[in-house]
Every structure is written in C-alpha cells, then in structure tokens.
C-alpha cells in the first residue's frame, strides 16, 4: 500500500492507493506538516491524532511526501525520521512541495516549465524536463512569500490599520475578523503557525473581487512575485510556459494573466490541489 502526501503549512492531504493504483478511500486531511516551522513534538501529535492514518501505520509500504518546509536538508531529515517512526514498514521519500507542483501541473513528464506555488506560502522553480532548478532559497513568510496567502493577509491587515482601505471594504473586513490589536499580536507572536493565521485573511479578497481595491491588491502582490521570483528565470520564460499550483493562484487566474501580459510571459496550467495530479503521476509510474 502506498501513501501519497501533499502538505502545505495549513493543511495536508493524504491519498492511499494499492499496488495496482486503486484508491483505497477518500482523501485523508490533517493539519499541515511543515518541519521548518513546527516542532518535532507538534509534527508527531498531528500524525498521531489522525484515526484514519493509524490504520496504515503498519501496512504502508511506501510514502511519497511532498511538503512546504522540506526544501532544506535538516527539516527534511527530521520529517523523514518522524514518518519512519510511525510507518516502520514503509520506504519514505520526502521532497519539497515545489516538486509536487511540477508533477501536478506539467503536461508530460519531460515538459520544461517554470512552476510556481501560490498557497499559504509561495515559491518558484524551473523544471528542465528532468531536474528541478531553484535560484532563490526561500526564507519563509517573514522575509519572502510574495503573492501567498500569508503575504496577502499581511497586506490586508496593514491596509486596515493604516486606513488605506476604501470605507466599505474596511467596514466589511472589520466585521468579518477580530482585528483587536492584542488579539492579532497574540496570534502572530504567541501561537504556532502565524503564517497560516495570516493566510486565513486571504479568502476575504476572493469574496470581494468586485472591488477595484481588491483587484489591484492581488495584482500588486503578484507583480512583486514576478519581479522577485519568476524573473529569476527571465531567459527560460521566453520559451517555456509558467504553471501555477495552489488555491491563491487558482482564484487569482484573471489577475495573474493580466500581470503576465504586462511582463510578456505565457501562463500555462492552474492546479488548485496538487494531490490529484500526484496520484496520477505515481499510478502511471507503477506500471
């Protein structure tokens, strides 16, 4: 039995398939397992709390894990060790979430493309048809992550407090969320997963896209992402498409296409949840 896992910082999707590629049950959902942010104790608790996962602790023979925070060696090895502890009979492979985005969005296994992630966090890489190339090491939500959910959440909160929002949008934003300063600071500086907390505000944008302010906010965040990330591959994007994975990208299609036109690159595929594409990829490679 094989487990295929796609984890962001907010949520983690697990799919169980048998050795013939048949799906064994509905997708299992846990909290995100980001080893760059969460402690070993917290990571273990998330896995241990899932009743659905417990049924596979001994039967899993292979785990393909793709996750946020797995792009550097130490966090990747920590998570691999934890997975091997709970799934002792499984061969465990842990890769960064960018590879999940590549395998979920490219049209053929040897297609070259620039592939972007825009979910709770953000990232961008070039896949040459065989290998993944990344020219910027992510420093996470505090310093990077433009056009991600946490980045847009930060922009919204800042605009609310600096009185940069139009009156009707500011009123709606204040009505939807608890924006008491002490409450916001408690969530940012005292609780775990402040990046996921910030990303929880991003949904507001997609419920209010009839506002010119919101549309421009989305475009501004994506322009920053283009400047800092996509243009790292300015030669490659002359000849290959740029694909996108993640819910923020999926719900920002029109704004992304408009900004792409400004910068002159070709937009390719959008995949809201990479897990479906990953299952297809691994099923195809079982044969």
More confident residue, 165 or 96: 165
The contacts of residue 270 (CB under 8 Å, 6+ apart) are: 105, 243, 244, 245, 249, 250, 253
CATH entry 3.30.420.40 includes domain 2-100+275-284: yes
Supply the pLDDT for residue 284: 78
SS3 2: strand
Domain boundaries, the chain: 2-100+275-284
Report the relative pairing of strands 242-245 and 267-271 from DSSP bridges.
parallel
pTM exceeds 0.85 for this model: no
Over residues 207-263, the pLDDT tens digits come to 999 999 999 999 999 999 999 999 999 999 999 999 999 999 999 999 999 999 999
Over residues 18-29, the pLDDT tens digits come to 887 788 888 899
Q: For residue 126, what pLDDT band results from cuts at 50, 70 and 90?
A: very high
Number of Cβ within a 10 Å radius of residue 174: 12
Of 229, 230, 206, 227, nearest in space to 218 by CA: 206
Supply the pLDDT for residue 107: 87
Q: What CA–CA distance (Å, rounded) separates 22 from 19? A: 7
Supply the pLDDT for residue 205: 97
Q: For residue 287, what pLDDT band results from cuts at 50, 70 and 90?
A: low
């Amino acid at each position: 039995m094989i487990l295929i896992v796609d984890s962001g910082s907010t949520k983690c999707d697990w799919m169980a398939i048998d050795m013939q590629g048949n799906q064994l049950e509905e997708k299992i959902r846990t909290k995100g397992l980001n080893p760059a942010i969460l402690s070993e104790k917290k990571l273990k608790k998330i896995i241990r709390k899932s009743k659905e996962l417990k049924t596979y602790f001994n039967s899993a023979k292979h785990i393909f894990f793709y996750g946020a925070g797995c792009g550097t060696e130490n966090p990747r090895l920590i998570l691999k060790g934890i997975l091997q502890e709970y799934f002792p009979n499984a061969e465990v492979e842990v890769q960064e979430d960018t590879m999940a985005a590549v395998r979920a969005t490219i049209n053929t296994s040897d297609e070259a493309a620039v592939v972007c992630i825009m979910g709770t966090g953000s990232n961008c890489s070039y896949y040459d048809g065989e290998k993944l190339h990344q020219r910027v090491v992510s420093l996470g939500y505090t310093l990077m992550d433009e056009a991600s959910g946490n980045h847009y959440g930060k922009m919204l909160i800042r605009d609310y407090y600096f009185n940069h929002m139009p009156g009707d949008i500011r009123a709606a934003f204040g009505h939807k969320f608890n924006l008491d300063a002490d409450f916001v600071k408690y969530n940012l500086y005292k609780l775990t997963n402040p990046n996921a907390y910030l990303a929880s505000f991003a949904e507001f944008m997609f419920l209010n896209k009839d506002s010119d302010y919101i549309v421009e906010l989305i475009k501004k965040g994506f322009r920053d992402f283009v400047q800092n990330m996509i243009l790292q591959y300015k030669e490659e994007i002359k000849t290959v498409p740029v694909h996108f994975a993640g819910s923020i990208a999926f719900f920002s299609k029109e704004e992304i296409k408009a900004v792409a036109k400004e910068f002159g690159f070709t937009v390719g595929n959008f995949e809201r949840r990479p897990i479906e594409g990953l299952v297809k990829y691994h099923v195809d490679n079982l044969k």
